[in-house]
């Protein structure tokens, strides 16, 4: 993981529109789209498409997507996470001696990528510019080249020899920070989508390559099935606002559930107080202790929130409760956009898109050079488990977009982060700072964080036999490490401003009509801009 030293913490204010993302080049694509007359959805697609080119260690066309769209008082939720192929077979994997889904370098952990279907669903319902104009900045970046980021180079260094060999197109170009990287196959895939829609992608060179790689795992019918669908929004009140997220298979219910518990606690006035961290950790573990058995495709988010509401008495205000689900660091990208039309109509987007862990599966579709996610690792292969791998089923997902509205329906914020299993915990801390303590976006995002961590991957928080430890960022208050340990938490330290604690972004709707936003300094190259 990479960290930065003493970054400035300044929120950005703009009157008309704003984009916040983990890559300044992608942010520029969104701002350019607003300048062309596009709305917040157009800008979000443009920003995501750009970072899908420049950030293959975070996201891409071979990954999944969730989004919330705030449209003048109404919130809409899009689930564009892909389904397992027709050849998915948990019984065969058990017979081969496997006890859990493979993590990397195995096509069986790849599901049909939902990203492109997500872009098209967003554009079909809310877009205002032609799709070719929306995708144009990303196509130019892929054709002409972009500077390799230090995080991408660091992720390549962490890859195995086989992973780097598979990712050779990127690895051979991204030798040093700022090296020009071109991705002609991705440019062609984007141009095909701009010209001919989903059939040129799922039914074209990418789909053909994926079917061949799968060796019977995927069929043409699997790829002809649209992966994106609009679903009911999951909402709950906490910290004086209404929080919104996506229904399961997203783990967003954990962020709302934890916030609802925490908002009932006597939180210290100063969020640097170690008791503040303890109480939020207790709320997060009460919400998430049974995540492996409760999160699956088709789970009822409202029922899960009601169940978590009943756990208030599980919280120990003095000591660590030490609870988890005994049994099994994510790289993702989050971005948000907001804009106001000439008619005063407000629109904002909370969008999260991912390969899962780093470059995902470290497998690359050969016709386009698009690296594939490993979101299928979220499945169980235990017989009868509610999240058991099966054809057409979506895996449990760490991705969760967030939005908040006020009592009058106005937008309080769109916000989110990467971070694997830690996403709900990061969102809990940011929500408490934004809405309970009324901190600025920059201060709320820049504050030192705690995160519950498993021992290995960033996706094993709730499944490691020894339970999660509490990792503390180096610039968190100095007394947190020892004080939380004295309360019974198993603590460990990490560098200051460590990217392993998420890359958050937030745009707050100011009551004065201004947009106020910030991008996480942990992104190193992220930016928040507008006009």
pLDDT per residue as tens digits for the range 88-107: 999 999 999 999 999 999 99
Residue 357 — very low, low, confident or very high, per pLDDT cuts 50/70/90?
confident
pLDDT 10s digits, 233-291: 999 999 999 999 999 999 999 999 999 999 999 999 999 999 999 999 999 999 999 99
Phi, psi (deg, nearest 5) at residue 332? -155, 170
Angle at 226 between CA 220 and CA 231, to 5 degrees: 155
Say what percent of the chain tops pLDDT 70.
95
Which pTM does this prediction carry? 0.95
Asked whether the beta carbons of 283 and 315 are under 8 A apart, the reply is yes
Say what percent of the chain tops pLDDT 90.
89
Asked whether the beta carbons of 318 and 267 are under 8 A apart, the reply is no
Asked whether the beta carbons of 203 and 152 are under 8 A apart, the reply is no
What is the pLDDT, as a whole number, of residue 517?
98
- Is residue 230 within a helix (H) or strand (E), and if so which, with residue range? strand 229-231
Q: How many CB atoms lie within 10 A of CB 386?
A: 15
Residue 326 — very low, low, confident or very high, per pLDDT cuts 50/70/90?
very low
Mean residue pLDDT of the chain comes to 94
Q: Which CATH number fits domain 231-331+399-530: 3.40.630.30, 3.60.20.40, 3.40.50.1100, 3.40.250.10?
A: 3.60.20.40
What is the pLDDT, as a whole number, of residue 341?
79
Pick the range with the lowest mean pLDDT from 37-41, 160-164, 233-237, 468-472. Answer: 468-472
Residue intervals in the chain for CATH 3.60.20.40: 231-331+399-530
Q: Tokens at residue 501, please? A: 């604690």
Q: Between residues 30 and 499, which one has the greater pLDDT?
A: 30
Query: Is a pLDDT exceeding 60 seen at residue 200?
Result: yes
Report CA-CA distances (Å) from 529 to 10, 23, 338, 518: 12, 11, 11, 9
Q: What DSSP string describes 437-474?
A: S---HHHHHHS--EEEE-SSSSS-TTTSTT--EEEE-T
Query: Is a pLDDT exceeding 70 seen at residue 464?
Result: no
Q: In a 3-state reduction of DSSP, which class is residue 49? A: helix
Mean pLDDT value across residues 354-373 = 95
Mean pLDDT value across residues 100-119 = 97
Query: Is a pLDDT exceeding 70 seen at residue 215?
Result: yes
């Amino acid at each position: 993981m990479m960290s930065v030293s003493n970054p400035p913490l300044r929120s950005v204010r703009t009157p008309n529109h704003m984009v916040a993302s983990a890559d300044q080049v992608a942010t520029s694509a969104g701002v350019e789209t607003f300048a062309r007359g596009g709305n917040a959805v157009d800008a979000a697609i443009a920003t995501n498409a750009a970072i899908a080119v420049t950030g293959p260690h975070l996201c891409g066309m071979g990954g999944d997507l969730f989004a919330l769209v705030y449209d003048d008082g109404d919130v809409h939720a899009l689930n564009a996470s892909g389904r397992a192929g027709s050849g998915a077979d948990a019984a065969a994997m058990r017979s081969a001696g496997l006890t859990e889904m493979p993590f990397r370098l195995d096509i069986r952990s790849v599901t049909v990528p939902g990203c492109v279907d997500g872009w098209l669903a967003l554009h079909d319902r809310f877009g205002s510019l032609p799709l070719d104009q929306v995708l144009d900045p990303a196509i130019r970046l892929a054709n002409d080249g972009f500077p390799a980021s230090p995080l991408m180079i660091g992720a390549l260094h962490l890859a195995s020899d086989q992973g780097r060999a598979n990712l050779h197109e990127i690895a051979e170009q991204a030798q040093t920070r700022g090296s020009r990287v071109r991705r002609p196959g991705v440019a062609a895939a984007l141009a095909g989508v701009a010209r001919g829609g989903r059939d040129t992608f799922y039914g074209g060179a990418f789909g053909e390559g994926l079917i061949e790689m799968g060796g019977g795992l995927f069929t043409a019918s699997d790829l002809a099935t649209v992966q994106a669908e609009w679903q009911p929004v999951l909402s709950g009140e906490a910290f004086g606002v209404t929080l919104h997220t996506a229904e399961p298979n997203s783990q967003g219910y954990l962020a709302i559930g934890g916030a609802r518990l925490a908002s009932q606690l006597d939180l210290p006035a100063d969020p640097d107080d170690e008791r503040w961290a303890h109480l939020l950790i207790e709320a997060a573990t009460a919400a998430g202790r049974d995540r492996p058995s409760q999160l699956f495709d088709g789970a009822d988010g409202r029922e899960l929130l009601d169940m978590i509401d009943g756990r208030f008495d599980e919280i120990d205000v003095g000591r660590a409760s030490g609870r988890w689900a005994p049994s099994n660091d994510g790289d993702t990208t989050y971005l948000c956009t907001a804009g106001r039309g000439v008619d005063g109509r407000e629109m904002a987007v909370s969008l999260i898109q991912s390969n899962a862990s780093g470059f995902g599966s470290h497998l690359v579709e050969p016709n386009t050079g698009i690296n594939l996610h490993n979101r299928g690792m979220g499945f169980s292969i235990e017989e009868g488990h509610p999240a058991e791998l099966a054809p057409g089923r979506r895996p449990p997902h760490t991705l969760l977009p967030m939005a908040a509205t006020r009592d009058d329906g106005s937008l309080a914020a769109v916000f989110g982060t990467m971070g694997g299993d830690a996403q709900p915990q990061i969102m809990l801390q940011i929500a408490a700072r934004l809405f309970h303590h009324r901190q600025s976006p920059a201060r709320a995002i820049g504050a030192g964080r705690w995160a519950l961590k498993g021992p290995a991957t960033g996706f094993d928080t709730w499944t490691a036999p020894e339970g999660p430890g509490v990792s503390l960022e180096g610039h968190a208050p100095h007394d947190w490490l020892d004080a939380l340990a004295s309360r019974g938490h198993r603590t460990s330290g990490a560098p200051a401003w460590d990217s392993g604690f998420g890359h958050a972004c937030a745009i707050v709707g100011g009551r004065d009509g201004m947009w106020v936003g910030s991008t996480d300094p942990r992104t190193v190259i992220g930016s928040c801009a507008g006009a």
